[in-house]
Every structure is written in structure tokens, then in C-alpha cells.
């Protein structure tokens, strides 16, 4: 029998970031998000080094391990590209049978989930809200509030990422700030 006295991994409730070995921190800046927002010209003239969102990702087991789990915390800054709110790139899992949980801890936003037939549904994210993302569902989070949006995620270690499909085909709706109101606009492919 052995007891680990030291906390191996930690979610810091102060800065909302994960700590421990095997934690990888990345951020996506305006300059990294080419073609993500509708108004590409507006994005290209913004400060390219400005952070849109940051992810700290705990990989306690090798990526691709069947039966393994990853956990991550994402902080989406408050901001817009033209009228479109800051959001994650969004992805589908390479292993399409993989699902995922998202849950909100700070701020407010929307979880956009789109099926392969491009039908979508949106769930409102707020502190304590839990969102189940089923298999074969593209997902993205949009910060529609007036502060940072912070959420956690847990997903299979063998889920993988397919960003290409979303990059090429986009989601079937976008969320804009129209006179202070988050407004969902359907997008033709």
C-alpha cells in the first residue's frame, strides 16, 4: 500500500489552470485563427499577438491509449472579430465514436454542436452547466458574455482531432453581437 502525499495534478482555483507533470499549455492568438471568423479582413488587421483562448491540457497517459482519458481547461477571452464573438476553432474527433464532457466554471457562453448532416443545436454555458457532446458531433464554444469564459473538458485519450473538416466546411451557424444581443445566424455552405 502506498499513499501519495503530494498532489500529483492540480486544478488551481485561483488562475483556473491545471498544474502537474504532463500538463501542456497552449494559446491561440488572433494570428493563429486564419479563416475561423467570418470577417477575415477584420481579423487580419487586428493585433496578431493578442490571445483569443488558452488551453491547459493534462495528459496522464499517452495520446491514442484506448481507455485513457484527458482533461483540459479552456479560457476564452472576452472579445470580438468585427461583430463575431471570440470562440474556439472547434473540431470533430478523428475517432468519430468518441464523446466528450464540457462543463462551465466562469462566465457565460454557448456550446455549439453540429451533426454530420449539418443540423446543429446550442446549449447555454454558465458556471456549473454540464454539456455532453455525443459521438460524430463537431463542437465549438463561444464566449457571449462580458468577461472571460472558463470551462473544463474531459475526453478519451484516443479521440484525436479533425480540424480540417471544420476549416473546409465551417459550422452551419455563427454567433454575432447584434446591438448587445448574442444572435445566431444560419450559414449556407
Decide if residue 107 touches ligand M6P (CB under 6 A). no
* Interface pick for ligand M6P out of 36, 46, 52, 55 (rule CB under 6 A): 55
Q: Which helix (H) or strand (E) holds 129?
A: none
Cell of 69: 482519458
Q: Of the listed pieces 17-25, 41-49, 85-93, 168-176, which binds ligand M6P according to CB under 6 A?
A: 85-93
Cell of 144: 457571449
Decide if residue 74 touches ligand M6P (CB under 6 A). yes
Q: How far is the CB of 39 from ligand M6P (least distance, A)?
A: 19
* Interface pick for Zn ion out of 30, 37, 70, 100 (rule CB under 5 A): 100
* Interface pick for ligand M6P out of 88, 105, 137, 144 (rule CB under 6 A): 88
Cell of 182: 448574442
Q: Which helix (H) or strand (E) holds 139?
A: strand 137-142
Which of residues 70 and 176 has its CB atom nearest to ligand M6P in the complex?
70
Q: How far is Cα 179 from Cα 147, in angstroms, rounded to an integer?
A: 17
Q: How far is Cα 144 from Cα 142, in angstroms, rounded to an integer?
A: 6
Which of residues 74 and 144 has its CB atom nearest to ligand M6P in the complex?
74
Decide if residue 106 touches ligand M6P (CB under 6 A). no
Cell of 76: 476564452
Which of residues 46 and 55 has its CB atom nearest to ligand M6P in the complex?
55
Q: Of the listed pieces 5-13, 84-92, 113-121, 181-189, which binds ligand M6P according to CB under 6 A?
A: 84-92
How far, in Å, are 154, 164, 165 from residue 145 at the CA level? 23, 28, 28
The length of the chain, given as a count of residues: 189
> Residue 130: helix, strand or coil by DSSP?
strand
Decide if residue 84 touches Zn ion (CB under 5 A). no
Of 9, 160, 141, 143, nearest to 78 (Cα)? 143
Decide if residue 158 touches Zn ion (CB under 5 A). no
Query: Which residues make up the interface to ligand M6P (CB under 6 A)?
Result: 55, 72, 74, 88-91, 153, 155
Query: Which residues make up the interface to Zn ion (CB under 5 A)?
Result: 100
Amino acid at each position: 500500500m502506498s499513499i501519495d502525499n503530494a498532489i500529483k495534478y492540480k486544478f488551481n482555483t485561483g488562475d483556473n489552470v491545471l498544474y502537474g507533470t504532463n500538463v501542456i499549455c497552449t494559446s491561440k492568438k488572433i494570428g493563429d485563427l486564419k479563416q475561423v471568423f467570418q470577417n477575415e479582413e477584420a481579423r487580419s488587421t487586428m493585433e496578431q499577438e493578442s490571445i483569443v483562448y488558452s488551453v491547459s491540457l493534462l495528459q496522464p497517459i499517452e495520446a491514442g491509449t484506448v481507455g485513457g482519458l484527458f482533461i483540459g481547461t479552456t479560457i476564452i477571452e472576452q472579445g470580438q472579430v468585427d461583430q463575431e464573438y471570440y470562440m474556439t476553432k472547434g473540431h470533430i474527433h478523428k475517432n468519430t465514436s468518441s464523446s466528450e464532457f464540457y462543463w462551465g466554471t466562469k462566465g457565460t457562453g454557448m456550446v455549439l454542436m453540429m451533426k454530420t448532416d449539418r443540423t446543429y443545436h446550442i446549449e447555454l454555458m454558465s458556471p456549473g452547466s454540464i454539456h455532453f457532446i455525443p459521438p460524430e458531433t463537431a463542437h465549438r464554444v463561444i464566449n457571449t458574455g462580458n468577461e472571460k469564459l472558463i470551462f473544463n473538458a474531459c475526453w478519451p485519450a484516443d479521440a484525436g482531432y479533425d480540424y480540417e473538416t471544420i476549416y473546409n466546411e465551417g459550422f452551419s451557424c455563427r454567433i454575432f453581437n447584434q446591438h448587445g444581443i448574442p444572435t445566431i445566424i444560419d450559414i449556407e455552405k
